[in-house]
Amino acid sequence: MSQDTAYQEAFRREKKARQAAEQLLEDKSRELFKLNNELLNTNNKLKEQQSLMLRNEKLATLGTLSAGIAHEINNPLAFVLSNMESLRHYIHSYNALLQLSLQWQNQQSLPSAESDQLQRLLDEQDLVFIQEDTKELFTDTEEGLIRLREIVQNLRHFSHSQDSERAKADLVAGLNSTLKILQSELNDRITVNCMIDPLPLADCNPGELNQVFLNLLINAKQALEKTQNPQIFISATSQNDEIIIRIKDNGCGMDEQTCKKVFDPFFTTKPVGQGTGMGLSIVYGIITDHKGVISVTSAQGKGTCFEIRLPVSGTS
């Protein structure tokens, strides 16, 4: 082998080895880049899951606190309402006495000195106005206390046992209490139309299903932010040992691809930082855990409808 031939052979081997090394480096770099991206995605998901777990723990703690606070408020509230009823009877007796005094005065049945003294008392204390105003004051106060009692009852119902135990529960009461909890969120801008039939008691975890109703109603509210004449439609009925609940809005709607992914964990159409993408995934998990089915139909610009089907007995 001549010196030139040996040189060319060595050059080819060196070139081949260099190309193999470069290809190996490129392959490893791509593999490392891919693994790094997967690691970043996994890390981000772990952070989101940790955040979600912390939020759920806070929600569970909040539920426990709400139940405790509602219990503590409920006892003195019962006393106040009872005392208000007693005061109403007392005021009725006072008004009867005042009316009798006025009647005696008008009939000039009282001696002149006592009649003048009564008239001065009526004028100084404005007793006639007090008599007229007391009824309205009592009515307003009782309405406020009854509203407070309803709020306490809603809190107690909504924060029903946070554990996994099942019990017979009225889903109509759950829907109604969730709507009352969201009353300030929905405000006067959104019209809520309800067609809710009486439902059989369902074997379920009421707290979890209340969370489902809450998530779906909040989703509907967010979909209606830019809608003229925003409306939410809620229907509930039962057929063949199955409870069917639909929550529908006339909001922005979703395209077909979005509908297919809407129950996927971490999928969200909201801007970064405004949603975890776990709300509907949690809903799906709760309904599935209850041996039920949840589906979605939607069209862009026409709105979205979520349909929940739950077995009455809690078994398939």
19-32 pLDDT tens trace = 887 888 888 888 88
**Residue 167 CB: number of other CB atoms within 10 A?**
13
CA distance to 96, 107, 123, 133, per residue, from 101 (Å): 9, 10, 14, 19
Q: What is the pLDDT of residue 1?
A: 55
The DSSP secondary structure of 25-55, one letter per residue, reads HHHHHHHHHHHHHHHHHHHHHHHHHHHHHHH
- Across the chain, mean pLDDT equals 79
Share of the chain above pLDDT 90, in %: 15
Please name which of 95, 292, 299, 284 lies closest in space to residue 204, comparing C-alpha atoms.
Answer: 292
Task: Output the six-digit token pair for 164.
Answer: 């996994």
Q: What is the pLDDT of residue 162?
A: 47
What average pLDDT score do residues 97-113 get?
Answer: 77
Give the global pTM: 0.53
> Per residue in 232-271, pLDDT tens?
999 999 998 899 999 999 988 888 888 888 877 666 666 5
**Residue 67 CB: number of other CB atoms within 10 A?**
19
Q: Which of 123-127, 152-156, 178-182 has the highest mean pLDDT?
A: 178-182
The residue with tokens 């006393």 is: 79
Q: Which residue has better confidence, 53 or 98?
A: 98
Please name which of 170, 180, 164 lies closest in space to residue 201, comparing C-alpha atoms.
Answer: 170
> Per residue in 32-73, pLDDT tens?
888 888 888 888 877 777 666 655 555 555 566 666 677 778
Cβ contact 278:265 at 8 Å: yes
What average pLDDT score do residues 300-316 get?
Answer: 83
**Residue 248 CB: number of other CB atoms within 10 A?**
20
What average pLDDT score do residues 266-289 get?
Answer: 70
Q: What is the pLDDT of residue 161?
A: 45
Contacts for 94 with CB less than 8 Å, ≥ 6 apart:
none
Describe the crossing of helices 127-158 and 171-181 by its angle, rounded to 10 degrees.
Answer: 120
Please tell me the distance from the alpha carbon of residue 3 to that of residue 9, in angstroms, as a whole number: 10
Q: What is the pLDDT of residue 262?
A: 81
> Per residue in 195-209, pLDDT tens?
999 999 888 888 888
